[in-house]
Amino acid sequence: MYLICPSLQLHSYICVMIFDSYSGNGWGGEVINHLTRARREAASARQSFDEVLEHHTKLEMQLEELEAIRAQEKRAAEAQKEALEAQKEALEAHGQKLAAKKEALTTEKKAIKADLEAHTAEKAAVEVELEGTKVRAEGEIERLKSEAVKAWGLGKEEFLKSSEFDDLCAKKSLAYFACGFKSCVAQFRANGYPEEEHPTPFLSVAQALEDLPDDEEADDGASGGEATPPDSPSEPSR
pLDDT digits (tens, 9 = 90+) for 137-179: 888 888 888 877 777 777 777 777 778 878 888 787 777 777 7
For residue 21, being part of any structural domain is answered with yes
Enclosing domain of residue 59: 8-74
**Per-residue pLDDT averaged across 44-48, rounded?**
80
Q: Are 41 and 32 in contact, with CB atoms under 8 Å apart?
A: no
Whether 102 has a pLDDT exceeding 60, the answer reads yes
Identify the band that residue 225 occupies on the pLDDT scale cut at 50, 70 and 90: very low
Burial class from Cβ neighbours inside 10 Å (0-12, 13-18, 19+) for residue 35 reads: buried
Q: Are 30 and 66 in contact, with CB atoms under 8 Å apart?
A: no
The domain total for the chain is: 1
Helix locations, the chain, DSSP H = 8-23, 28-161, 163-190, 205-211, 215-224
For residue 19, being part of any structural domain is answered with yes
Identify the band that residue 237 occupies on the pLDDT scale cut at 50, 70 and 90: very low
Identify the band that residue 197 occupies on the pLDDT scale cut at 50, 70 and 90: low
**Per-residue pLDDT averaged across 205-230, rounded?**
52
**Tell me, what's the pLDDT at 23?**
52
For residue 29, being part of any structural domain is answered with yes
39 Cβ contact partners less than 8 Å away, ≥ 6 residues apart: 11, 12, 15
What is the rounded distance in angstroms from the CA atom of residue 54 to the CA atom of residue 108?
78
Read off φ and ψ for residue 6, nearest 5 degrees.
-70, -25
For residue 55, being part of any structural domain is answered with yes
**Tell me, what's the pLDDT at 238?**
36
When mean pLDDT is compared across 15-24, 116-125, 173-182, the lowest value belongs to 15-24
When mean pLDDT is compared across 2-6, 123-127, 185-189, the lowest value belongs to 2-6
CA distances from 95 to 92, 98, 101, 105, 219 (A): 5, 5, 10, 15, 111
For residue 98, being part of any structural domain is answered with no
**Largest distance between two CA atoms of the chain:** 217
What is the rounded distance in angstroms from the CA atom of residue 10 to the CA atom of residue 3?
11
Model pTM above 0.85: no
**Tell me, what's the pLDDT at 223?**
45
Among the listed residues 27, 29, 179, 31, the one whose alpha carbon sits nearest the alpha carbon of residue 14: 31
Q: Are 8 and 42 in contact, with CB atoms under 8 Å apart?
A: yes
